[in-house]
Copies of this chain bind each other. A is one copy, B any other.
Amino acid sequence: MTVKNAFYAQSGGVTAVINASAAGVIETARLHGDRIGKVYAGRNGIIGALTEDLIDTSLESAEDIARLKHTPSGAFGSCRYKLKSLETHREQYERLIEVFKAHDIGYFFYNGGGDSADTCYKVAQLSEKMGYPIQAIHVPKTVDNDLPITDCCPGFGSVAKYVATSIREAGYDVASMAKTSTKVFILEVMGRHAGWITAACGLASEAAGEGPHILLFPEVEFDEAAFLAKVKATVEQYDHCVIGVSEGIKNQQGQFLSETGLKDAFGHAQLGGVAPTIAQLVKDKLGYKYHWAVADYLQRAARHIASKTDVEQAYALGKAAVEMALAGKNSVMPAIRRLSDAPYQWDIAEAPLSQVANVEKFMPRDFITEDGFHITEACRRYLSPLIAGEDYPPFRNGLPDYVRLKNLAVARKLAEFKL
């Protein structure tokens, strides 16, 4: 049998469990030495391939690779860098082939979200369009949970568990303080266009009066008057009001409520700071004392409160990607398929990359209550299994004991390439 090396890289915003997918890829590849030689990781995603900056994962011990399963972040470095089109930037693709040839790479595993699926899709076309035989498999990952076809995305379940846990805890706190102090608490969460993380906050509210009382989704246009009326009614009934808000909510003019003006490499506006904007509004119009929190990276890096389901799926998808490659597949993504809600059952299906790249999945309208301020039972049924189970990392000196790999470079064989 022909033995080819594999390339693996992480792309886009990292998560609490993307390294579990890496462990799934590497451990499975190691079981198939008759087909897969070494797994080379790209240092900082596709940039590592373009610049021939490859990490030799075969130099990492089995123990350290196993520790990836409980380590958040991207162990090999990630990137926000999207390949341009083959038509306008042919030299990028020629370079990739040059690097793949030099290092005998026949498998390409790319671990990312929708933008990264586009990069993986382009690499998958190298076989057909440029005659270089490669099998490109996308390993899904995104806290935003907005990839199509797959029932959910690794990374999301753990963020969901984190935000639901955190807003429940903060809700208990505010309820204690409301008599003489804080009446309104606002937690800003991620989710630029899709409200999945905001929706997950809603799981914390299991009984009448229990926070969060209001959720502000990016899918629902922000209606200031309706919002303020809801806050007032909630405080009058329960003496406090807990609010979960997406960083991406927009006003009736279609503008983000808080916009820094910065844009990331993909051209998306960099957001943050809608919580203080909402807080100020509540204070100005209703006079309530408030507190607000912005979880930012804390939410997606919170491996200490990861969902066991999420960790298992992240690993399983990494494993499945290698198995699909071994089965001769190209241009596909292993996807979670839900078989039943309760008991929760799932397996892994195959999604064509052409249907994944650059497609965003938003919250269905029937997951949001009619008034636009909370989640429905259908949404709870969907979300609930995704946060099930705890999978605590080991602790040392009172803190999570995460691994840092050696990340030793493969010797370069080619001339430098300017990005």
Contacts and interface: CB of A to CB of B under 8 A. Distances in A.
Interface residues of A, number: 76
Contact of A164 (B10, B77, B399): B399
Interface in A159-189: 161, 164-166, 168-170, 172-182, 185, 187
A291 interface: yes
Number of copies of this protein chain within its complex: 2
A177 B14 contact: yes
B185 A297 contact: yes
Interface in A165-215: 165-166, 168-170, 172-182, 185, 187, 203-204, 206
A177 B78 contact: yes
A292 B294 contact: yes
Interface in A293-351: 293-298, 300-305, 307
Interface of A: 10, 13-14, 16, 44, 47, 71-75, 77-81, 161, 164-166, 168-170, 172-182, 185, 187, 203-204, 206, 262, 264-265, 270, 272-273, 275-276, 283, 289, 291-298, 300-305, 307, 384, 387-390, 392, 395, 397-400, 402
24 contacts: A14-B173, A47-B179, A47-B180, A71-B172, A72-B169, A72-B173, A73-B175, A77-B175, A77-B179, A78-B176, A81-B180, A165-B304, A165-B399, A165-B400, A166-B298, A168-B402, A173-B300, A173-B301, A187-B298, A293-B296, A307-B398, A387-B398, A388-B397, A392-B392
